[in-house]
Amino acid sequence: MESQNAILMTEARSALSGKWSFGVKITFIYFLLTIAFSLISYVLSYFISGVYSRIFGFDTTESWDKFWNNMIQTFFVSIPLSVGLIVVFLKFTRKEETTLKDLFTGYKHFIPVFKTSLIVSISIFLWSLLLIIPGIIALVSYSMCYFILADNPKLSTMEIMAKSKKMMLGNKWEYFFLSCRFIGWGLVSIATLGIGLLWLIPYVQTSQALFYEDLKQQQAPTGSDLEQPQTPASLDLEQQQTPASPDQPF
């Protein structure tokens, strides 16, 4: 019998059927933009360091320049574009029409994307200070944050993080094993000088999108959990039969 992760990967290949060319193209564009913006972020970080040194009267170190470069590249380039990739491959799994502009969805909702990425990164970093294992657990617990954000950009960061933790409760190992299944493919992609990543990333992203969709279905309320509508008569009867709680205000 196939494991759930093996079934997900089969479904991912099915979802990509007829869409591999677009998936490879959007991944290639993602890499091009990341490289281009990384050069721009390097120039910006150099400019920021120059302004800093003029204001405070001393030159910044090379490590400080790298810090600003990494911050700009991560929060203003990599993460917004990664959210765009998630939107693209979520649409693949839902059989919705996708376009190139979906890749820039992260910039359309830049403020919530920035806030979520910043707070999630700080949370994972703080847990990592304890030991490596708590950091990995935190990383897996918050792994659905960007999928939730892509679906619900109006949610607050705390709501997104809480929802991700709830979704991953009891599912961390499944996600970990799913990620491990791509290690071999990653090594093959490295052997091809990274060219294989153009096919691997769509495969990974679509599999993770399907994993997220499965978690959403698990979290969806069943018919018995749905609140039954109450008529005015039933409300009056309930008020007559239910004594006032000591905690209720008079």
Q: Residues 22, 205: contact at Cβ < 8 Å? A: no
> Angle at which helices 172-180 and 132-141 pack, to 10 degrees?
100
- pLDDT digit string (tens) for the chain, length 250 residues: 457 888 889 999 999 988 999 999 999 999 999 888 877 767 766 666 666 565 555 555 556 667 777 777 888 888 999 999 999 999 999 999 999 999 999 999 999 999 999 999 999 999 888 878 888 999 999 999 999 999 999 999 999 999 999 999 989 999 999 999 999 999 999 999 889 999 999 999 999 999 999 999 887 665 444 444 444 433 343 444 444 433 433 2
Nearest to 105 by CA among 118, 89, 121, 127: 89
> Of all helices (H) and strands (E), which one includes residue 63?
helix 62-73
CA 25 centroid distance within chain: 21
> What pTM was computed for the model?
0.77
> Angle at which helices 20-56 and 62-73 pack, to 10 degrees?
140
Amino acid at 76: F
Both tokens assigned to 51: 């302004």
